Amino acid sequence: MDLRHSSYDGDLQMFVESAREPDLARLTFLRWLVEQRRLEHGPAGAPSGDLAARPACSYASAVELKAA
């Protein structure tokens, strides 16, 4: 966050930014990335870590676990 364009709101207890015009050059570039299918990249490698070995559960089984 750019602190030059923000101020602290004590009621919200957070920094807030003032409204400003969108950066059309940035939006145009983002649109170009989407149109060229370059906005996101593929996975960099295979999943790893403690949670990668655990199979993902479906929504239905997750609901059943909460009900039990």
Separation of alpha carbons 65 and 29, rounded Å: 45
pTM: predicted TM-score of the whole model, two decimal places: 0.43
Tokens of 25: 């050059």
pLDDT band per the 50, 70, 90 thresholds, residue 41: confident
The strand pairing partners of 15, in sequence order, are 8
Helix-strand-coil split of the chain, %, nearest 5: 35, 10, 55
User: Which amino acid, 64?
Assistant: E
Tell me the domain boundaries of the chain: 1-40
- Cα separation, 16 vs 10, in Å, equals 10
Give yes or no for residue 17 having a pLDDT over 80. Answer: yes
d(CA 30, CA 7): 28
